[in-house]
Structure 1
């Protein structure tokens, strides 16, 4: 999500405050199409035809111009993936995002869209290290990424996985692992899908995340929004 450097949408604050966990949960109770994901609201809408998806994209463009707030959007044939976050509030969810989400849901209904938020997942790369400061510069330069205030490395174009550093004095032999973020509402379905190849995994931190390990010791964490919501 990027915001225009000038102006602000009607009724929106020019310097919005990030919403706390209780505020986000209350907003999502009124936004059934949407889920929370690492500082953003996300969803996916499927349409019967590609043309209908394009009509929805045009509607999203009009909302963005009207509200002076612009989502991350990806189009895949008949499906549109959306993400909403406010960079001017530290890449957190604000009232601007909830207003946009409500408008987008209404537009999807007019265009015949079906909300399928479980399809919007996020993959991050995690690197075990005792001291991120020793390696941050290398990875920033090697990938052309930007260092965020929270210590994460992000693709300036918003297209490739974020890298975050897990501080530990006992890094695993395979220091890289994947974090796959899904909605909590999809966790049971994903556990069933993964079980034939990955077993039950390590559920010590369930339902925040479960750790699955392949036969060679490579790990992937399947994460939910539990533990990732901001403080109230």
Structure 2
């Protein structure tokens, strides 16, 4: 039996966090269900009140290869460091200065979208290629690798 993977994020603002990760990964917002032209049309039909319309959001890989990311509203904020995090493979096959320059370019783009830069880890061959530790707009850590 084969299982599909979905990564779920707890969030204060699911729509904003979904938009950030769609931009970061080149994903897109999930289409509304069949029979509906927009999510607002679907939510209207289902009787979802305005104050509940940002309770969840999802983004998908347009190529259908990567996992679906699901964002759900929770009342509590982030408490501690993530035990699991995403690595964004921004510089596969690159090393040294070229690798770090590529990671810096991606880090700058994501900071412009609301991410926070936390730490730059310098290359230490042969085991550490170098990476940049970041946090999304709600503080979830991820690495540019």
User: Which has more radius of gyration?
Assistant: 1
Structure having the larger proportion of residues in helix: 1
Per chain length, whose mean CA-contact separation is higher, i.e. which structure has more relative contact order (CA < 8 Å, sep 6+)? 2
The answer to whether TM tops 0.5 is no
**TM-score by structure 1 length?**
0.23
